[in-house]
Structure 1
Amino acid sequence: MTSRVTLISPATSPSLRQARFDDGTTSLDGNGAARARAAAGTLPPAAHVVVSPSARCRETATALGLAAAEPLAELAGLRAGRWEGLTIEEVGGAEPEAVARWLTDPAAAPHGGESVQDLCLRVGRWLDTASQTDGRTLAVVEPDVVRAVLVRVLGAPAASFWRADVPPLTATEISGRAGRWNLRLGNPLQPADD
């Protein structure tokens, strides 16, 4: 049995443009929604469609024509605790040592939320379940979730989490069987005439 998972990052939102810790309620901006609608129909057919529970992921899924996507709590982005709603600049100005520790120590959670290490473990458990699913799964997920999948698939240390950039509205594909995954990165979702 071969499992295939296509991870789609959400379209742009104000939080993304402002480097703000998203609290899950921020909607797509007009340009992001338009780009997602233009990319509808470019995705392969899937047996399963899931989505991070954030507004921007749910709205991206709907704009892509994946309105029946099932929200999964285990695919939520990194929980940033008391930093949610703030920009990285605001937090860095107020708590520079805490931000430095958070960016360099995957076990650190100075914001009172979730550590990168915990996120990677949570997403890894979901990936173990997905590996038992025959056919393709489409998952519209936060960039943090894509990074956590990369860490798991590559067997990389959690400290490498921040070294992967995940552009908006791109697809990262993995496929595998018997617990071994292959990776295909960063495919843009574009209308057929691009």
Structure 2
Amino acid sequence: MTTRVMLISPAMNRALREARFDDGCSLNAAGAARARSAADRLRPAATVLVSPTVRCRETAAALGLGARPEPALAGLDMGRWRGRTLDEVGAGEPEALARWLADPAASPHGGESVRLLCARVGGWLEETARSAGRTVAVVEPEIVRAVTVRVLGAPEAAFWRIDVRPLTAAEFTGRAGRWNVALGAELGQDRI
């Protein structure tokens, strides 16, 4: 049985534009409009999920997806850094930020490490691989990164080397434990 998983990154909002760790803000008007314009471009799926964040839920709604929240696809828990920009953290805690970016097991912010995120998302992917049909999920960019690291068998340090642009799709197709990856399809171009 072939498993198909499409992960869609959220449309643009203030936090994404400012490189701010998710602070619960809504999509901006342009991001919401862009998502609405892509609504008829998605093929039907057996399972439609969404990360529980505001920007993912709003993106799913704008795409016309009746998605159910999936806690396993929650974004990286940033602990006390939540709501702060990368520049603010770098200015106030440069050593902690450097450690976090260099060591996938580090969590100086008191939240979740990249290693734990990859394990959590990897468990979800293994469970999903046993399901029939296509799965579509609107998720935070770090979820796309974690799944990509897992399916490629890449070291967790590669997590930071994967760029995920707003409102793009990554498709993962697997059978018998072997995965193929198609990254960065822009929504609104062709039917995906």
Provide the TM-score with structure 1 as the length reference.
0.96
Query: Which structure 2 residue ranges, 5 or more long, are not aligned?
Result: none
RMSD (Å) for aligned C-alpha atoms: 1.2
Q: What is the CA deviation profile of residues 105-137 of structure 1, one whole-angstrom value per residue up to 9, with x for unaligned ones? A: 000000000000000000000000110111110
Q: What is the CA deviation profile of residues 76-124 of structure 1, one whole-angstrom value per residue up to 9, with x for unaligned ones? A: 1111000001111111000000000000100000000000000000000
Segment of structure 1 superposing worse, 174-183 or 88-97: 174-183
Matched with 1:54 is 53
Matched with 1:22 is 22
1:122 to 120, 126, 143: 120
For the residues of structure 1 that align with 2:88 and 2:42, how far apart are their CA atoms? 37
Matched with 1:170 is 168
For the residues of structure 2 that align with 1:181 and 1:107, how far apart are their CA atoms? 25
For the residues of structure 2 that align with 1:5 and 1:41, how far apart are their CA atoms? 18
1:104 to 99, 102, 106: 102
Matched with 2:36 is 37
For the residues of structure 2 that align with 1:49 and 1:180, how far apart are their CA atoms? 23
Q: What is the CA deviation profile of residues 114-163 of structure 1, one whole-angstrom value per residue up to 9, with x for unaligned ones? A: 00000000000000011011111001000000000000000000010000
Alignment check: 8 A CA contact 1:40 1:191 kept: no
Q: What is the CA deviation profile of residues 38-79 of structure 1, one whole-angstrom value per residue up to 9, with x for unaligned ones? A: 00010111000000000000000000010x201011101111
| Change in CA separation of 1:20 and 1:90 when aligned onto 2, cut-off 3 Å | same
Local SS of the residue matching 2:136: strand
Cα distance, 1:32 vs structure 2 = 0.3
For the residues of structure 2 that align with 1:180 and 1:133, how far apart are their CA atoms? 15
For the residues of structure 2 that align with 1:112 and 1:64, how far apart are their CA atoms? 34
- Structure 2 letter corresponding to 1:3: T
Aligned residue-pair number: 191
Matched with 2:2 is 2
- Structure 1 letter corresponding to 2:85: T
Matched with 1:186 is 184
Identity %: 65
For the residues of structure 1 that align with 2:163 and 2:138, how far apart are their CA atoms? 16
For the residues of structure 2 that align with 1:133 and 1:173, how far apart are their CA atoms? 16
For the residues of structure 2 that align with 1:183 and 1:17, how far apart are their CA atoms? 26
Query: Which structure 1 residue ranges, 5 or more long, are not aligned?
Result: none
Cα distance, 1:191 vs structure 2 = 5.3
Matched with 2:92 is 94
Cα distance, 1:26 vs structure 2 = 1.4
Q: Does 1:134 align with 2:132?
A: yes
Q: Does 1:153 align with 2:117?
A: no
- Structure 1 letter corresponding to 2:98: A
